[in-house]
């Protein structure tokens, strides 16, 4: 007869079995999520005939015909620049205004501070798309309709509630002794925020930036409503011009989609270390 397995060994085998099953599930989920992206990248190197005949075949990666067509025969470069400009300015305003507001709410005691925080938090529950008609009329009267400033103002208003929520919680977790020591050394309030608090808030700022970066970069609704001039279109709206009325060059379309997704992917890879640090330290605090 075989000897019975000790209880400790059974517990260890059970733990290894659960960990192995979890790894299998995570790998399967990753493969499922990456599969459409791989097909998109592969299709960018194929012609229409190759895409329909062999959609899953590995392409000739030296065939850059579609990418050359994207750069020379379309306004993709213009759309890309518009998206960079609108996204960069919007994120800059969101982080600047959101950090300043969060610092004031978290560190200064004044009447109505709780109401101010709740006022901003209400923005998390009310989609700005519900106010699309009043916004359209407002921007028309201000003279910024059909301009990038209409998008920047909208995205800044959308991003402030979440940024203030993230930054306020993070700043409240930081020790006040740091600011008291800086005040004793004669530092002004602006100097304390810029030199003492801002470096400590970097992980939370990265989280807030990434949280707002992807929705702004991928937004299609507001450019469709506020932008009519083709030279001012951002990537999501501009990519619709790649679809013809009777025929569509799908190879060029997938090449453009690959190039449109590349900047966000690169930014996330560059900031992934700080993003993870913020999730595991600042968010936990």
Rounded mean pLDDT for each run of 10 residues along the chain, 285 residues in total = 52 64 86 89 88 85 87 88 94 92 82 78 80 90 91 92 88 80 79 80 86 90 90 88 75 88 84 63 47
Pairwise CA distance, residues 163 & 215, whole Å = 14
* Per-residue pLDDT tens digits for 77-110: 999 999 999 999 999 999 999 988 888 888 877 7
Per-residue pLDDT at 90: 95
Phi-psi region at 188: left, alpha or beta (left = phi > 0; alpha = psi -120 to 50): beta
Q: Which H or E run includes 10?
A: helix 7-43
Per-residue pLDDT at 13: 54
Specify the CATH number of the domain 76-282: 1.10.3720.10
* Per-residue pLDDT tens digits for 176-202: 787 778 788 777 777 877 888 888 888
> Dmax over Cα atoms in the chain, in whole Å?
89
Extents of the domains making up the chain: 76-282
Pairwise CA distance, residues 176 & 102, whole Å = 15
0.95 exceeded by pTM: no
Do 256 and 239 contact (CB within 8 A), yes or no? yes
Pairwise CA distance, residues 45 & 61, whole Å = 6
What are 240's two structure tokens?
């619709």
Per-residue pLDDT at 84: 93
């Amino acid at each position: 007869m075989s000897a019975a397995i000790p209880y400790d060994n059974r517990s260890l085998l059970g733990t290894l079995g659960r960990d192995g099953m979890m790894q299998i599930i995570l790998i399967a989920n990753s493969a499922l999520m990456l599969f459409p992206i791989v097909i998109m990248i592969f299709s960018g190197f194929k012609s229409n005939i190759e895409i329909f005949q062999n959609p899953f075949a590995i392409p000739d990666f030296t065939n850059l015909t579609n990418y050359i067509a994207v750069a020379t025969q379309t306004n993709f470069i213009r759309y890309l620049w518009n998206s960079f400009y609108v996204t960069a300015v919007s994120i800059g305003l969101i982080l600047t205004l959101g950090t300043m507001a969060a610092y004031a709410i978290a560190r200064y005691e004044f009447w109505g501070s709780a109401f101010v925080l709740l006022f901003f938090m209400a923005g998390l529950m009310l989609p700005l798309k519900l106010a699309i008609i009043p916004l359209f009329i407002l921007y028309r009267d201000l003279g910024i309709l059909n301009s990038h400033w209409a998008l920047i103002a909208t995205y800044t208003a959308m991003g402030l509630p979440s940024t203030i929520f993230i930054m306020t919680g993070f700043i409240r977790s930081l020790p006040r002794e740091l600011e008291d020591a800086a005040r004793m050394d004669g530092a002004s309030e602006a100097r304390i925020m810029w030199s003492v608090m801002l470096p400590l808030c970097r992980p939370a700022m990265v989280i807030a930036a990434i949280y707002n970066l992807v929705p702004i970069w991928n937004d299609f609704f507001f450019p469709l409503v506020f932008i009519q001039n083709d030279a001012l279109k951002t990537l999501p709206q501009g990519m619709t011009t790649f679809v013809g009325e009777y025929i569509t060059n799908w190879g060029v379309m997938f090449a453009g989609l690959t190039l449109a997704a590349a900047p966000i992917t690169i930014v996330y890879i560059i900031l992934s270390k700080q993003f993870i640090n913020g999730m595991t330290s600042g968010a936990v605090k």
